[in-house]
Structure 1
């Protein structure tokens, strides 16, 4: 295969990954500077997924599929999704969401051919989400009032594309963590990393997103901890991070507490901004045996008109205990494979992504449907994949056996 063809294929694969990111941005959020009809946003996001599948199929016409426990378990997750959605209890939208999930999983199957444990998809991930954060920063400059509305308590939202504070915080935290790990692994220079990390930290602070902040710090701690024995840079960074955290805890404790509480009362903070009330109502609701096993069908991750904001309860509500078991298996399999791999930078990035998604699953929904969280876990799966054995470019020539002269037969005339 020529280098030009390889570069062309790599660009298409990167485009496919970017389209998957666009598809998972969602269509619900804050009011934008220029009002965007939800139908238009859904058309763009769904069109991005169809284009991603078509491009992935175009570069993998031979349908070369690599075995992947992660994508296989995701495929199994389609079973309870379709069974529960076929009852139309959640309307025809449930079947549409099943088709979207199937197309999302099919695209991952096609991309799995290029999952080789390298950092290629990490760079695609950082570039695309940094572009999304760039649109958020542009909206903040163009219309600060629309970007930090009173409706969200003055927290940063997407003024050009409807993004909520938790979404922006998630994207910022993920690319900050991955970029820090690339710096420690000497896969990027500090100047380029600062261009990504500094503005992302500012946006994360403006969102006041506690889940993303805790996920970032805990995920980085676990990821860097996996490198301490083999990386002097990781050891130095860990020591300095601990010292800075101690100084911040002592010198800025009141400011940090005020940022963390976001002006909420103790009761509101204890109930996780009202989430606990929705969780209790969901668990107390009567269910049939079928709903307990397979759920009520893919919906908008809400119950009684209020967001569930918990991946496990959302999966239980929509895909039942079967879905919960499969999602748990995905986390356990990825975490187990990461622990069994020898220390390396790709392993550290995978540990960061897995731990971040596991932490965020407590207050955010998305592990049971096409979402950024599944895309983060897909990236972790690509980092944990074993490099594919290179096929020979041509059949090696078998050397001909030399026959001694005395053994040759003379021609009989």
Structure 2
């Protein structure tokens, strides 16, 4: 997928959809190497556990992902040697989140790995600060995001073709996993949902042609269906409803899409009710479904665990987002366990600040994309962990922050003295006033 295809549409024409502001920020000053930095950040947040066609040692995968983060920081530093950054409440709050992370990790209750994770989070936040120089409210980083995760899903599709048995193992109930790079069904579902949502919005905003959008949406939707990931599907639907709803009053295309989507969803719900229910239940009984596949039991045990006052305030240190050997699978409880109540307050502040800024912005395509990302992450946080550490969810929110950034105003240049010599004094006085 090249940049031209996703930028397709009617550039320079009149805005008949209400999604173009007419003064869209220009991203011509963004170096192309920034795309490499963003891709390296994405590589750092990929998974590192699971069976693949060719067995990859977990230490080797972790070395590759950590090396990607170090390379991202180094390249961002080279591109921004003067350390020019833009004020960002999002990155500032992430920086504050480092405080409880370091304080709790210094006790080494979860081992030296906690300090390593603090170092990783510090590099991640530092790279975002360096990239903030190019956050101008344009769609540049949206295209980076789509290309990056579409490439990841390309490796998932390749693994499915090469070894269907490895890509859809029995221990995951036949759900799609990464066979070339270890990726779990929730991860693949997350990437698929984000790509589909952003591409739909670009199509509505006439920043992508119908053919290029279909080339992305159709195969990605197939992969999403094969993961049987309920959280990603619900997040996609609700996120799109909120994002398109923010454009309904100003965009005729959004109104038409919303109307047809509701109609088609109603027909599909009636015609394929049984198939949809089977897909949604994934062969689980009502008890397993009600306790969220065992998640509720882990959550109850975590909340019932006796804690000292420092542990309640600062947490026990950055870990692997598990409790008692089982995954927590809830961002808020994971943050509470590892970074304490201070971490929970800071993460809540991040969501509230980004959501509040998005609501205060005038209707635009950038605002709609930001609303989609924020709402998707907020919904996913209930059954997925990652808001307190370097993760794809923080990368999604960083993209939202870049979309909500106000473009830097250009300083007008004074007319050259040579060009002013022939202007009479009276005319120059009028020019100044």
If the TM-score is normalised by the length of the shorter chain, which range does it land in? over 0.9
2:165 to 145, 148, 155: 145
- State the partner residue of 2:16: none
1:303 is aligned to 2:335: no
Give structure 1 regions of 4+ aligned residues with deviation exceeding 6 angstroms.
400-404
- State the partner residue of 1:25: 46
- Cα RMSD (Å): 1.5
- State the partner residue of 2:348: 328
Unaligned stretches of 5+ in structure 2? 1-26, 427-433
Per-residue Cα deviation, 1:79-129 (whole angstroms, up to 9, x for no partner) = 000000000011100000000000000000000000000000000000000
- State the partner residue of 2:192: 172
Superposition pairs of residues 152-191 of structure 1, within 5 angstroms? 152-191=172-211
1:96 is aligned to 2:116: yes
- State the partner residue of 2:68: 48
Per-residue Cα deviation, 1:144-189 (whole angstroms, up to 9, x for no partner) = 0000000000000000000000000000000000000000000010
Distance 2:30 2:267 in 1: 48
**Contact between 1:9 and 1:59, CA under 8 Å: does it hold in 2?**
no
- State the partner residue of 1:15: 36
Distance 1:136 1:102 in 2: 30
Distance 2:229 2:112 in 1: 34
**Kindly tell me: are residues 240 and 117 of structure 1, through their superposed partners in 2, closer, same or farther at Cα, counting changes over 3 Å?**
same
Per-residue Cα deviation, 1:290-312 (whole angstroms, up to 9, x for no partner) = 00000000000000000000000
**Kindly tell me: are residues 8 and 236 of structure 1, through their superposed partners in 2, closer, same or farther at Cα, counting changes over 3 Å?**
closer
Distance 1:8 1:151 in 2: 49
Distance 1:166 1:254 in 2: 23
Distance 1:403 1:51 in 2: 57
**Kindly tell me: are residues 255 and 53 of structure 1, through their superposed partners in 2, closer, same or farther at Cα, counting changes over 3 Å?**
same
TM-score between both structures, scaled by the size of structure 1: 0.94
- State the partner residue of 2:89: 69
Distance 1:65 1:297 in 2: 29
Q: Residue 27 of structure 1: CA displacement?
A: 1.0
Distance 2:86 2:30 in 1: 17
Per-residue Cα deviation, 1:256-313 (whole angstroms, up to 9, x for no partner) = 0000000001000000000000000000000000000000000000000000000000
Bigger radius of gyration among the two: 1
- State the partner residue of 1:292: 312
Q: Residue 11 of structure 1: CA displacement?
A: 1.4
**Contact between 2:281 and 2:289, CA under 8 Å: does it hold in 1?**
yes
1:204 to 214, 221, 224: 224
1:112 is aligned to 2:123: no
Distance 2:30 2:74 in 1: 14
How many equivalent pairs are there? 397
1:135 is aligned to 2:159: no
Superposition pairs of residues 345-360 of structure 1, within 5 angstroms? 345-360=365-380
Distance 1:8 1:223 in 2: 28
**Contact between 2:47 and 2:184, CA under 8 Å: does it hold in 1?**
no
Distance 2:221 2:95 in 1: 36
TM-score between both structures, scaled by the size of structure 2: 0.90
Distance 1:228 1:8 in 2: 32
Q: Residue 403 of structure 1: CA displacement?
A: 8.6
- State the partner residue of 2:7: none
Q: Residue 36 of structure 1: CA displacement?
A: 0.3
Q: Residue 346 of structure 1: CA displacement?
A: 0.3
Distance 1:319 1:96 in 2: 15
- State the partner residue of 2:249: 229
